[in-house]
A and B are shown apart, each in its own frame.
Chain A
Amino acid sequence: MGFIRCSPLDHPEPEWQSEETAISVHNLTKKFKIPKQRSLTAFDRLSAYVRRHPSLYEEFFALRDINFRVEHGEALGIIGPNGSGKSTLLKLIAGVLSPNLGCVSVQGKVAPFLELGVGFEPELSSRENIYLYGAIIGIPRREIDRRYWDILDFSELRRFEYLKLRNFSSGMYARLAFSIAIQADSDILLLDEVLAVGDEPFQRKCMEKIEELRRAGRTTLYVSHNLESVKAMCNRCILLQEGQIVSIGSPDDVIDRYHKGMELPPESGEQKPEQSDSFEKIINF
């Protein structure tokens, strides 16, 4: 199981893949073309072509030449300011985006979710949504049948089995989503700020669950702005800034570096504000 995804220009090199490595990222570059207009029609493209006005796009490098490896069973934290490329990196590893340069190689099954609750249908009940979300993240129907009560019990939403999701609070929504997601039998978990909602006891419960999965040999990639939780959960950490790895190592060192960086912005830290603005729009959309 697993996959290798390369840009059209690159070919996978066998020497940097090995069975022990869960994830290898090699010379990875991701470039976004940001349209100057909201959406483009055939008419726009045709008229731009006729008027010889080719720049319908601005280019923006979300990630530049990223290299790292993650061994099986590791928990890697990814931190950095907004727009530094954290989510883009996870999306590339999940296979949602494809690289412009370089390769991503993954050994094992990736849980295909970044945000929790993608595809939840507000007009359906919790029960129906458990089956729907299970199908989306690839849990076989039999397995959901078997673990149905585990899911509801973990989320502590047993009373609301037949309630429509549109009546849920955002915390209940997140609880249900997390409880289903951890049932996916994946080797690699990609978690992008998933614990931001939910009350403290539930957050603690989730952390314990993730820790338990990690000890069982699952590999975890954890993106968060909550640096304390990164320290608590991860054995290694990456600091991203403007699409480049600034620092990689033990969470304490990297977080120190991040704090220093915030006090004294690096020389190269001048970025064009309008570019990062439009980048944020893309991500948030």
Chain B
Amino acid sequence: MWFFEYYDLIRILTISDLRVKYQSSVLGFLWSLLNPFLMLLVLYVVFSGLYNQSSTDFILYLFVGITSYRFFSNGTSASVQSIVSKANLVTKIYIPRKILVFSIMLSGLISAMLEFLILFALLIIFMAPITFNYLLFPVITLVYFGIVYGIALALGALYVFYRDLNQIWEVVISIGFFLSPIIYPVTVIPEHLLKYYMLNPITIIMQMYRDILLYGISPSLLTFGYAVCAAIIILAIGATIFSRLEWRFAEEI
């Protein structure tokens, strides 16, 4: 399998991407955390007045939403250029090209987990109920990784042919921010729209994270099953688009 055969290369590419992101320093990592913190602060100040929420609950609610959405938004937008930015490794040598997307996604996952570590610290500080449901965290994260990786494969391949895709994708990410329950509770969605609203797999993932981390309940089997199915379908579509386009990468870049 390509993962084991190219394990060394995946490791090196992932580490070098992380190095670039954090400028090889601990301080670089702290700077990168400033962004979500500022976002959290602004959103908290604006919306806590609006909803009259009790403060600690709302701050944790926001933080789960922001952190989990950032994995999606950072991961997919980094993957858009993952093939094109490594043109040399596509046109002058043969390696399975999905390695390029995969290593970018791994680096995104590691960054996201570092941000989740901050969340865990906050959970302990605010004394949220820590239960066995926490054991579901890696499972949900794996499903989420599948969804994001599937989208990333499609984006990385399509960008080779459509060079304005990054602009289009930025718009999609901004729209997605408001279509997911990050700054508002799901209860504000009108009853007759709710069933369409809950089709968004990222919404489902976000709600499952909140269930296990904030409320100490396990998600229903139906919800979890839906997320797994969505991940498999998205991954299959992404992988199909990728393999259909892969043979022309070297001529188009």
Number of cross-chain contacts by CB at 8 Å: 71
CB distance from A54 to the nearest CB of B (A): 16
A89-115: which have CB < 8 Å to B?
91, 94-98, 110, 112-115
Q: Which B-chain residue is minimally distant from A46 (CB atoms)?
A: B162
**Chain B residues within 8 Å of A98, by CB:** 247-248
Give 1 or 0 for each of A127-158: 1 = CB within 8 Å of chain B CB: 00001101111101100000000000000000
Q: Which A-chain residue is minimally distant from B91 (CB atoms)?
A: A96
A41 touches B251 (CB 8 A): no
Name the interface size band of chain A. Answer: 20 to 34
A136 touches B89 (CB 8 A): yes
**Contact A131-B168, Cβ < 8 Å, known A40-B163, A119-B88:** no
B251 touches A138 (CB 8 A): no
B164 within 8 A of A: yes
Give 1 or 0 for each of B1-39: 1 = CB within 8 Å of chain A CB: 000011011011000100000000000000000000000
Cβ-defined partner of B161 (8 Å) among A40, A110, A112, A138: A40
A216 within 8 A of B: no
A282 within 8 A of B: yes
B161 touches A137 (CB 8 A): no
| Chain A binder among B50-58, B59-67, B92-100, B221-229 | B92-100
**Chain B residues within 8 Å of A282, by CB:** 251
B161 touches A95 (CB 8 A): no
**Chain A residues within 8 Å of B164, by CB:** 41-43
Name the interface size band of chain B. Answer: 20 to 34
**Contact A114-B92, Cβ < 8 Å, known A42-B168, A131-B12, A136-B9:** yes
A45 within 8 A of B: yes
**Contact A42-B94, Cβ < 8 Å, known A32-B251, A98-B247:** no
A262 within 8 A of B: no
A72-94: which have CB < 8 Å to B?
91, 94
CB distance from A128 to the nearest CB of B (A): 9
A55 within 8 A of B: no
Q: Mind listing 12 A-B residue pairs with CB under 8 Å?
A: A33-B251, A40-B162, A41-B163, A42-B165, A42-B168, A113-B93, A118-B89, A134-B8, A135-B12, A138-B5, A138-B9, A282-B251
**Chain A positions near chain B (C-beta within 8 angstroms):** 32-33, 39-43, 45, 91, 94-98, 110, 112-115, 118-119, 121, 131-132, 134-138, 140-141, 282, 285
